[in-house]
């Protein structure tokens, strides 16, 4: 089967699953989706969403445009804002599943021995795609919480496929343009920018790709700064991550064990310089993995962030999943399971409306609040242990001679061959 045909089947299956779950979870806009609706209302009313007196926006402008589009669709149809926005997120998440399938196939094709057939790469692509389609973390964050992280990950995965498969001329520029677009949805894709630039074969292509990835976000940010400088700078300064997960979230879950209510965060945020302290850890992990395949580099950096950073939002836990699915195995399966357990307990304790779809309503799932608190602590502890073990395996596992971290300068013929046979 051709890569395009395989990716189309994966996309259609993923989209059907997500449409069905969006119908199940549809309700009143709550938590994050409620904030997105208010920002869309600012735009519809002609107000600057960053300087609004109530509920000012703190997300990049391209995502605000997506929220406004979801509102327009909801007003033109019988659907409400909540299902329209979740369907938008689900559409991108389904494309992530297709991209995961393509990238897994391309990676397997590149690392296979010369005498091996393409059947193993095709089988691996099916497993990787199906693993993401039915991954509980992706389904919870996209179809129930309605966060926009799946949109960013879709753009990043398609950029990764372009870099590996080289299906068109100037694929590097197109890939980094997609990365730049993702920054205008949510800026966490900058975490992977140095790794993707390092994958390119020479400094000329890296400089050109850097300009492609940063020009559009810089221009849009400059325009926003000119229109509302204090609001934009305030939003950037406040972006530190909520204390839901990570070692701070684990400590908070431990401190709230046995409470009759959901409890309150003992530590609410870390100082701003804590982010700068992650830089040497990032560099050390990259240096250790610099000669490893690009997907392992991306996975290692995310794991290092999870272990060190401390304050992680619930939706941040999705960042690891598509890269883990590229190499299906015990690590991604167990990590996905414990992440889903921790997310369910977190939602039920702190944001029950995400699961019920109605403000003030809590699903009766047979557990008391203290039991959910214990489950949250257990899930967080097991999840943290899985992260440490996964990163340790990545840092200590020797690479094989057929693996390569950098693609090298592909000829036009080689690029087309990889796009047809492996990507």
| Predicted confidence (pLDDT) per residue in 80-111, tens digit | 999 999 999 999 999 999 999 999 999 988 77
CB atoms within 10 A of CB 291: 12
pLDDT at position 404, please? 47
pLDDT at position 274, please? 74
CB atoms within 10 A of CB 348: 23
pLDDT at position 113, please? 55
Mean pLDDT value across the chain: 86
Question: pLDDT of 165-216, one tens digit each?
Answer: 988 888 888 999 999 999 999 989 999 999 998 888 888 888 888 888 888 8
Answer yes or no: is pLDDT of 143 > 80: yes
Look up residue 309 and give its two tokens. 């950073």
Collapsing DSSP states into helix, strand and coil, what is residue 1?
Answer: coil
Answer yes or no: is pLDDT of 406 > 60: no
144, HSE (Cβ side, Cα atoms, 13 Å): 20
Contact 398, 293 (CB under 8 A): no
pLDDT at position 363, please? 83
CA 397 → CA 59, 222, 301, 362, distances in Å? Answer: 38, 44, 16, 45
- Average pLDDT on 23-28 reads 90
Contact 252, 265 (CB under 8 A): yes
Radius of gyration of the chain (CA): 21
CA distance 154 to 162: 12
Look up residue 141 and give its two tokens. 């964050």
Look up residue 30 and give its two tokens. 């709550």
pLDDT at position 385, please? 95
Answer yes or no: is pLDDT of 22 > 80: yes
CA distance 44 to 375: 42
pLDDT at position 228, please? 67
Q: What is the DSSP secondary structure assignment for residue 399, as one 8-state letter? A: P
Answer yes or no: is pLDDT of 309 > 80: yes
């Amino acid at each position: 089967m051709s890569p395009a045909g395989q990716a189309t089947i994966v996309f259609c299956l993923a989209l059907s699953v997500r449409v069905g779950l969006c119908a199940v979870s549809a309700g009143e806009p709550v938590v994050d989706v409620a904030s997105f609706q208010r920002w869309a209302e600012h735009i519809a009313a002609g107000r600057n969403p960053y300087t609004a007196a109530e509920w000012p926006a703190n997300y990049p402008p391209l995502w605000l445009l997506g929220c406004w589009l979801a509102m327009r669709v909801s007003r033109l149809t019988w659907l409400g804002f909540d299902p329209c926005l979740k369907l938008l997120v689900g559409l991108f998440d389904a494309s992530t599943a297709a991209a995961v399938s393509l990238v897994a196939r391309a990676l397997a094709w590149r690392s296979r021995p010369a005498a091996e057939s393409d059947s193993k790469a095709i089988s691996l692509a099916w497993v990787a795609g199906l693993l993401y389609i039915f991954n509980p973390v992706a389904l919870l964050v996209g179809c129930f919480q309605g966060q926009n992280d799946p949109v960013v990950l879709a753009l990043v995965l398609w950029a990764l496929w372009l870099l590996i498969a080289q299906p068109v001329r100037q694929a590097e520029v197109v890939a980094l343009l997609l990365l730049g677009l993702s920054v205008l949805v949510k800026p966490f894709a900058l975490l992977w920018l140095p790794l993707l630039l390092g994958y390119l074969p020479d400094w000329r292509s890296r400089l050109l790709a850097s300009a492609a990835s940063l020009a559009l976000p810089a221009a849009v940010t400059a325009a926003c700064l000119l229109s509302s400088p204090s609001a934009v700078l305030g939003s950037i300064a406040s972006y530190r991550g909520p204390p839901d997960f990570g070692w701070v979230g684990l400590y908070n879950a431990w401190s709230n064990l046995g409470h009759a209510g959901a409890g309150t965060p003992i530590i609410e945020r870390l100082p701003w310089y804590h982010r700068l302290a992650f830089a040497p850890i990032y560099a050390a992990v990259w240096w250790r993995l610099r000669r490893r395949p690009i997907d392992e580099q991306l996975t290692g950096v995310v794991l290092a962030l999870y272990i060190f950073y401390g304050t992680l939002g619930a939706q941040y836990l999705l960042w690891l999943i598509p890269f883990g699915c590229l190499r299906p195995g015990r690590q991604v399966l167990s990590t996905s399971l414990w992440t889903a357990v921790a997310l369910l307990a977190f939602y039920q304790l702190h944001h029950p409306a995400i699961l019920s779809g109605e403000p003030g309503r809590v699903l009766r799932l047979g557990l008391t609040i203290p039991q959910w608190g214990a489950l949250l602590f257990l899930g967080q502890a097991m999840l943290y242990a899985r992260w440490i073990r996964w990163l340790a395996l990545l840092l200590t596992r020797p690479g094989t001679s057929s693996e390569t971290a950098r693609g090298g300068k592909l000829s036009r013929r080689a690029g087309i061959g990889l796009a047809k046979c492996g990507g």
